Structure 1
Amino acid sequence: MEFLRTFFAQSIVKRILFLLLVLLLLYSLRHMLNLLLLLFLVTFVMGRLEGYVTRKLNRLFPISPLMVNILLYLLLVSSLVFGLLNFVPKIIVQVVDMFNTITRFINSSQQDEFARVAAAALEKLDFQKYLGNVMEYIKMLGKWLEIILFVLLLSFFYLIQKKKVVEFTEKFRYSKISWAYKEFHYFGQKFVSSFGKVIEVQLLIAVFNTVLTMLGLWILGFPYLFALAIMVFLLSLIPVAGVIISFIPIGIIGYQVGGFTLVLWTILMILIIHALETYFLNPRLYASKTKLPMFYTFIILIFSQHYLGIWGLIIGIPIFMFLLDVLGVEQTE
């Protein structure tokens, strides 16, 4: 008995036990994974944005974080409502039309060499698994709107009462489960400082890629810009592989619109954007430049997609960076 008491009193044993309990809890809540991940992302990003805006405005005139949060969420909700009313119908029409166009093109692969190459590439990427029936994703829009509304409410209430939430949570430090609180506090700090910041960088890069790509596609005369903007933004959240996957439908549409000449101009545009991201944007977004070998990146994406699905492609790298931080692995060069 004394041996067991001594064994479980060790900090490393408590830490491993806590991680196992967290994994068990997450597994039991796996059906709420969309809600939990989206809640963390929105709360983290809006919290960082509130802090940035508050610091900038305080240089001009005093303003409380509460007022900044209210204004930011009013702006966010107004933008969502405006987008739903004005752009979602156009996006739905364009998405359906775009994928019907791609499907017709792939079905004509017997008469076109480029179509045969594109069809083979889509088959290797398991294109249908990710995109499936377009109408099924459109039918899920109502469910996602419900999740987004719930996430916005929870994140808003957390941010406007952040001080009270922290003070209440701090009371667990002196409770009978103080050891669990200390581990929660330790991993929470690590999670925010590594996972959260990597996700923030991925979001900023996704916005950067989407804006420049849409500008380039507009100049080149591409159709379906609304649908392509959504696709490019979502796939830009996937490190490395997202660029490759997004180019396939863009290349197919470019080939149909302007032939190989337009495809070559599109490739040049994407290479320029990728170079700007690599040599200009990344060094400024990362406080300390983090590099993963390409081999590690693809291995992480393969395993994270297998266990977490589509979310795994987005959060696989941030989770790995979090684990490196916990294990104390030096990440800078």
Structure 2
Amino acid sequence: MFNSLKRFFSKSQTQVYLTLIFLMVILYLVRSFLTTILLITIFSYFGVHGSRVIKRFTKIPYLLSVIFFYILVIFGVVMIFRFVIPVFTNEGQHLYDAIVTGLKEYPQVDQYLGHYVDKLNMWDKISTNWQKIVLNGLTAITTVSDIVMKVALSFFLSLIFTLTLPKLKNFGHQFEQSDFPKFFKIIYELGTKFIYILGQIIEVQLVIDFINTILMMIGLTVLGMPSAFVLGLMVFIFGLIPVAGVLISSIPLALIALSMGGLKTMLELIILIIVIHAFEAYVLHPKLMSSRADLPIFVTFTTLIIMEHILGTWGLIVGVPIVAFLMDLMEIHHFDKNWHQTKDNNLDNSNNTN
């Protein structure tokens, strides 16, 4: 009996799964910091990747490429607040005016919405529960400020991580000389694999989402929809959610199209969405996700529902990478057969980043 248990625990696969369970317990214990941990991981992945791209093309030292990359990111954020948000506000006002005009031209829609609002008794609820509404508003402001602080802190820590990556790698190698070298080696392998899968899937999803948004904005402009920039930004935000984002963004777009041009415009919009989604499903997705987590739609939806219940909003973003990681770990579906080679190229080259 003892020998059987010893053989069982000495198996490499058993040790990997036990280490994974240990890491999951640790993450559960620090679950209040998961948002910060995930943000640092994502920012650091793109920070390292972007800095190495700059270094490869400019031949400047690694530290300078890191500083240059983060300056570009900060400059881009500043430009968004300086130019994009005013445009968004103006077009948002135009969109509101267009919806009001559309409701006047199609009174049946206005009557339906008015009947629905009357059934909700909004004014009675506001007058009765105004204290709770004010409290919820203050809570929302606090939540937003907390999110901003977490994003800023994660961005700063990712900068420190990216700058000190070579030293951190040398520090990590010291654990290989500890009393439990295999344990730390498994942690390193699991962490590297998950970060690689997470970064690759988010990177590809961003590319697909950007292309879809450009095509959608062109289509919305051709259809004569108001404020294509605002609607395109909404499509881009929802497009970060795999598969389900298309359906979520289609509902407000269809309602706006109905109020603008009636059933004809709404049908044209639905055809546009189907064509763009078909282009994504049959061209972009196979082309860009050929070596990634190419999961069936049903599995993706199920993953999003379950992970959203477990992890909240983050589950919609990291749910698919988690499933891809587990399937790769159990050798059900290899995310990337050459991921070890890619990992070595990405991490071992840090010896030359000084």
* Residue 21 (1) aligns with residue 22 (2): yes
User: Secondary structure of the residue that 1:328 maps to in structure 2?
Assistant: coil
- Relative contact order: is structure 1 or structure 2 higher (C-alpha 8 Å, sep ≥ 6)? 2
Partner residue of 2:330 out of 323, 327, 331: 327
User: Secondary structure of the residue that 1:263 maps to in structure 2?
Assistant: helix
In structure 2, what is the equivalent of residue 76 of structure 1?
Answer: 73
Change (3 A) 1:12 1:26: same
Cα deviation per residue 1:82-130 (whole Å; 9 max; x = unaligned)? Answer: 323444466578779979999xx99xxx9549968xx9xxxxxxxxxxx
Q: Point out the more displaced range, 252-261 or 271-280.
A: 271-280
Partner residue of 2:246 out of 220, 243, 246: 243
* Residue 187 (1) aligns with residue 190 (2): yes
Matching of residues 260-275 of structure 1 within 5 Å: 260-275=263-278
User: Secondary structure of the residue that 2:40 maps to in structure 1?
Assistant: helix
Matching of residues 1-333 of structure 1 within 5 Å: 8-57=9-58, 62-88=59-85, 91=88, 111-112=108-109, 140-225=143-228, 227-288=230-291, 290-331=293-334
Q: Percent identity?
A: 33
TM-score for both structures, normalised by structure 2: 0.74
Aligned residue pairs total 310
Instruction: Compare CA radii of gyration and give the structure with the larger one.
Output: 2
Cα shift at 1:6:
6.3
Amino acid in structure 2 at the alignment position of 1:14:
Q
Cα shift at 1:189:
2.8
Please give the alpha-carbon distance, in whole angstroms, between the structure 1 residues aligned to 2:93 and 2:25: 39
Cα shift at 1:235:
1.7
Q: Point out the more displaced range, 133-142 or 219-228.
A: 133-142
Please give the alpha-carbon distance, in whole angstroms, between the structure 2 residues aligned to 1:30 and 1:100: 44
Change (3 A) 1:144 1:218: farther
TM-score for both structures, normalised by structure 1: 0.79
Please give the alpha-carbon distance, in whole angstroms, between the structure 1 residues aligned to 2:94 and 2:65: 41
Please give the alpha-carbon distance, in whole angstroms, between the structure 2 residues aligned to 1:114 and 1:200: 44
Please give the alpha-carbon distance, in whole angstroms, between the structure 2 residues aligned to 1:305 and 1:221: 36
In structure 1, what is the equivalent of residue 338 of structure 2?
Answer: none
Q: 5+ unaligned residues in a row in structure 2: which ranges?
A: 117-135, 336-354
Please give the alpha-carbon distance, in whole angstroms, between the structure 2 residues aligned to 1:45 and 1:115: 47
Cα deviation per residue 1:284-303 (whole Å; 9 max; x = unaligned)? Answer: 32353653222222221221
User: Secondary structure of the residue that 1:83 maps to in structure 2?
Assistant: helix
